[in-house]
Amino acid sequence: MAILVVGGAGYIGSHAARALRRSGYEVILYDNLSTGHRRLAQGFELVDGDMADEPKLRSVLTRVDAVMHFAAHAYVGESVENPRKYFRNNVEAALTLLNATLDAGIRRFVFSSTCAVYGVPTQIPITEENPRQPVNPYGTSKLFCEYALEAYDRAYGLRSARLRYFNAAGADESGEIGELHDPETHLIPLALAATGPGELQIFGTDYPTPDGTCIRDYIHVSDLAEAHVRALQHLEKGGDSVALNLGTGGGHSVLEVIHAAEAATGRAVRRKVGPRRPGDPPVLVADARRAQQVLGWKATRTLADIVSGAWQWMQRVQSGS
């Protein structure tokens, strides 16, 4: 069984590729390397191509049985400033991929969605039934793909898993791959960097949470990757299309993350308190029960695992090894 991992040289795609291979799948990566890295694709066949390149896609799709799609722009702030870029890639090019997949006769598709499709949640923890009302173009672009997949299921029998990630973080236990974003905007790598020359700005300490800082559901990227394999297996067994939250079901505040970074590194995180970041809801935590019921999957790694893995990876990158 061969799987095309589109965006396979990126952070989550490269972890999914390894999880697939560990489960015995043949894996081909497809990536235009705009934000992906050859380093993360090492040891895999990599087709250097854009999602909008239909002929290239068509030729590689003849060699696979299912598609996993990770190739999206994923900065919320940038999507507000430059929605055209987001709709061009995350919607238009994604539709090219979807149509080419369909034309190739493939009927299994695993899609990287996001809790950003919910916008401001109506209740915590967030279930999959929460209304989908994204509040930025990034979330809108992902929601479009969810709608397209739902329509293609009804019309053409394309079965999909739409996996709504909460806050992915951490690094593969092998030490070979991890997060390489430029610019880095995510809390965990920034908190770790602030144990060195950097300084972390805490975006608000006046939220209605126990310590005043925002709470998020941080999920280890390897747990996420394993959920993708389970989702694919669910579709292979003839399971229906599904939309699933991928989170731990528990939340941690910004201050708790800082303390975890200090515990993992043995160093102080240099920080200052800044204003709230526009658009940040106080609490985003998944109700992760449906993924457990449907896939038999549950996140097993803790915040300490996430932070220590991210720290090891960061040291490796900094030392040039």
Residues contributing to the site for ligand UDP (CB under 6 A): 167, 185-187, 190, 200-203, 214, 216, 254, 277, 280
Judged by beta carbon, residue 188 or residue 231, the one nearer ligand UDP is 188
CB of 244 to ligand UDP, least distance (A): 18
Q: In this structure, are residues 127 and 287 in contact, taking their beta carbons and an 8 Å threshold?
A: yes
**Active site includes 156?**
no
Q: How big is the CA angle at 169 (ends 292 and 72), to the nearest 5 degrees? A: 90
Longest CA–CA span in the chain (Å) reads 56
93 is written with which tokens? 């090019």
Q: In this structure, are residues 216 and 251 in contact, taking their beta carbons and an 8 Å threshold?
A: yes
What is the DSSP annotation of 206-243? -SSSTTSS-EE-EEEHHHHHHHHHHHHHHHHTTPPPEE
Judged by beta carbon, residue 55 or residue 183, the one nearer ligand UDP is 183
Judged by beta carbon, residue 29 or residue 219, the one nearer ligand UDP is 219
**Cα→Cα distances 210→26, 205, 226, 256, Å:** 47, 10, 32, 11
Instruction: Please give the Cα distance from 17 to 201 (Å, whole number).
Output: 34
CB of 252 to ligand UDP, least distance (A): 9
Residue nearest to ligand UDP (CB): 214
Spell out the alpha helix ranges (H) of 118-274.
Answer: 137-156, 187-193, 221-236, 254-265
Judged by beta carbon, residue 133 or residue 209, the one nearer ligand UDP is 209
CB of 202 to ligand UDP, least distance (A): 5
Judged by beta carbon, residue 213 or residue 222, the one nearer ligand UDP is 213
Q: In this structure, are residues 216 and 258 in contact, taking their beta carbons and an 8 Å threshold?
A: no
CB of 207 to ligand UDP, least distance (A): 8
From the candidates 11, 86, 138, 152, give the one annotated as an active-site residue. Answer: 138
CB of 267 to ligand UDP, least distance (A): 17
Catalytic sites, residue numbers: 138
